[in-house]
């Protein structure tokens, strides 16, 4: 049985709302479709819809109460309660702040251009075994995801892990002031969302806003990143007690000594804050080894057991759209899909290609990259895409299929032997590659979310034959 998360009295105290009765809720939801019994449904107004339209549905689906700023015109009293506030988005922020105020948990915030979600999930897996842990769900890292995640944190949590993202300057500052982390990780600084910035240095400054909400504590930074010194300078303010770094750099506090990679993961030797340790990371990819160092540095910073945490790194599973691997049965055998369709920027694209390069295809089979545009790269977008041609050429990729106006420039820059095919849409691309797949092939599918590369993944999965016509998922890395 779920324990009480918020009472009516505490909700009203936090939000200034009014409601009747004496009741409590066991969760928070902003989506009537996924609301669970006992939840408080918060009716947010978005750019495309108003959550007040779905209050009836949320209560019918089991919500214990709904938080509203006006009574919907078609509202019919269901088996649930109402709390009325002036503005539901403000109320969500107030609940998040109240959750943080009442908590004595050690709070870790994770930001960075690449690897936020995977790093957050690895921290959650490790700390769950060491104390009651609350963490952001999925990639809930924006102006509504962060307060929602905070509001869901139980009052007795011992650890809280929150992902913090941005695509404009100033956004992380506001979220950091809400989270108020004891430990803040910046995984890396890369040209993600650079369309909205004048330079990558400005992105580094925006990521450094994570320090603003800290009241003493530890900053954990990527020592191998070219912008380390710039970010480290920002971390020397009064809000930071110490800076820990991670990477291969000889001065890194969480330092990689050696790694042996194979198609399913990495055997790692490292020094974590003065302690030599060996562990198995059950995900392939050099970038994920880097992130594992940041995880263990954060574990050390909050005073948890590093050795115990390291053991959990072998148990990590990939996130859908961020490295999930599917084995698909076809007439003459199986082929493998690596689903990287959730998002893409230059750094994560390179990482996905390099991960594909270490996976061994079947006899006479190919490593195939299926790529679509990386978005929000601004005036230099074509240049970033063309640079990928060199990575694809040097990593031993056998064939490349692509779509998108920027990937067209990359495709033209490829050697003729690598060009598998170019299509004008993801649907056409999926149809093309579906006809080319052979047993033993390994296919990485990647592009920005807006490019709709999940369509290609779905088309490839649909090639499955057999009684259940379903793919079997196995572990792989996430970007």
Confirm whether 6-86 and 324-474 share one CATH topology.
no
Confidence band, pLDDT 50/70/90 cuts, at residue 71: confident
Q: What is the mean pLDDT of residues 245-261?
A: 97
Q: What is the mean pLDDT of residues 432-451?
A: 94
The DSSP annotation for 352-390 comes to: HHHHHHTS---TT--EEEEE-PPPS-GGGHHHHHHHHHH
Q: Which CATH superfamily is domain 324-474 in?
A: Mur ligase, C-terminal domain (3.90.190.20)
Separation CA 90–CA 103 (nearest Å)? 20
Q: What is the mean pLDDT of residues 430-453?
A: 94
Specify the pLDDT at position 72: 80
Q: What is the mean pLDDT of residues 371-395?
A: 95
For the cut 70, the answer to whether the pLDDT of residue 313 exceeds it is yes
Q: What is the mean pLDDT of residues 222-235?
A: 97
Specify the pLDDT at position 470: 45
Separation CA 381–CA 401 (nearest Å)? 19
Residue whose C-alpha is closest to residue 374's, from 397, 394, 351: 351
For the cut 60, the answer to whether the pLDDT of residue 79 exceeds it is yes
CB-count exposure of residue 203 (10 Å: 0-12, 13-18, 19+):
buried
Report domain extents, the chain. 6-86, 103-315, 324-474
Q: Angle at the Cα of 136 (from 340 to 220), degrees rounded to 5?
A: 85
User: Residue 402 is encoded by which pair of tokens?
Assistant: 């692509």
Partners of residue 450 on adjacent β-strands: none
Q: For the chain, what percent of residues have pLDDT higher than 90?
A: 85
Separation CA 395–CA 349 (nearest Å)? 13
User: Residue 315 is encoded by which pair of tokens?
Assistant: 């148990």
Q: Which helix (H) or strand (E) holds 182?
A: none
Report the half-sphere exposure of 360 (CA within 13 A, side-chain side): 7
Confidence band, pLDDT 50/70/90 cuts, at residue 46: confident
Separation CA 12–CA 67 (nearest Å)? 10
Q: CB under 8 Å to 188, separation ≥6 — which residues?
A: 112, 113, 114, 115, 222, 225, 290, 347
For the cut 60, the answer to whether the pLDDT of residue 476 exceeds it is no
Specify the pLDDT at position 78: 62
For the cut 50, the answer to whether the pLDDT of residue 165 exceeds it is yes
Q: Was domain 103-315 assigned CATH 3.10.450.40?
A: no
Q: Cα Rg for the chain, rounded, in angstroms?
A: 23
Q: Tokens 């060199």 appear where? A: 390
For the cut 50, the answer to whether the pLDDT of residue 472 exceeds it is no
Mention the CATH class of domain 6-86: alpha beta
- Residue 281: count other Cβ atoms within 10 Å of its Cβ: 25
């Amino acid at each position: 049985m779920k324990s009480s998360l918020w009472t009516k009295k505490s909700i009203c105290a936090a939000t200034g709302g009014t409601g009747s009765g004496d009741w409590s809720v066991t969760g928070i939801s902003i989506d009537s479709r996924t609301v669970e019994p006992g939840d408080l449904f918060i009716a947010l107004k978005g750019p495309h819809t108003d959550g007040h339209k779905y209050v009836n549905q949320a209560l019918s689906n089991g919500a214990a109460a709904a938080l509203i700023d006006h009574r919907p015109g078609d509202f019919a009293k269901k088996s649930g309660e109402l709390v009325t506030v002036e503005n539901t988005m403000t109320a969500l922020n107030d609940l998040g702040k109240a959750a943080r105020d009442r908590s004595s948990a050690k709070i870790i915030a994770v930001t960075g251009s690449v690897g936020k979600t995977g790093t957050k999930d690895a921290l959650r897996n490790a700390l769950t075994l060491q104390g009651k842990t609350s963490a952001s769900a999925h990639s809930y890292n924006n102006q509504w995801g962060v307060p929602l995640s905070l509001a869901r944190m139980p009052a007795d949590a011992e650890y809280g892990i929150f992902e913090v993202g941005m695509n404009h300057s100033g956004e992380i500052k506001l979220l950091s002031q809400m989270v108020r982390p004891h430990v803040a990780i910046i995984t890396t600084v890369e040209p993600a969302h650079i369309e909205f910035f004048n330079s990558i240095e400005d992105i580094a400054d925006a990521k450094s806003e994570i320090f603003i909400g800290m009241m003493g504590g530890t900053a954990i930074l990527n020592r191998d990143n070219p912008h380390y010194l710039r970010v480290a300078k920002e971390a020397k303010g009064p809000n930071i007690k110490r800076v820990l770094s991670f990477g291969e750099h000889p001065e890194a506090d969480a330092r990689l000594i050696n790694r042996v990679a194979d198609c399913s993961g990495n055997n790692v030797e490292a020094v974590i804050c003065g302690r030599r340790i060996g562990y198995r990371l059950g995900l392939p990819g050099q970038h994920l080894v880097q992130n594992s160092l940041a995880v263990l540095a954060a574990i050390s910073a909050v005073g948890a057991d590093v050795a115990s945490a390291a053991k959990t790194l072998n148990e990590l599973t990939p996130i859908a759209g961020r490295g999930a691997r599917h084995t698909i049965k076809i007439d003459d055998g199986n082929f493998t899909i690596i689903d990287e369709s959730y998002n893409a920027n230059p750094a994560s694209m390179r990482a996905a290609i390099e991960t594909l390069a270490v996976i061994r295809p079947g006899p006479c089979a190919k490593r195939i990259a299926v790529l679509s545009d990386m978005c929000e790269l601004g005036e230099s977008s074509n240049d970033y895409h063309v640079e990928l041609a060199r990575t694809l050429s040097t990593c031993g990729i056998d064939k490349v299929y692509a779509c998108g106006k920027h990937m067209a420039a990359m495709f033209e820059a490829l050697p003729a032997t690598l060009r598998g095919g170019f299509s004008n849409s993801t649907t056409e691309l999926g149809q093309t590659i579906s006809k080319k797949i052979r047993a033993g092939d390994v296919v990485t599918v990647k592009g920005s979310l807006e490019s709709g590369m999940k369509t290609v993944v779905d088309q490839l999965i649909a090639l499955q034959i057999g009684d259940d016509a379903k793919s079997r998922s196995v572990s792989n890395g996430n970007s």
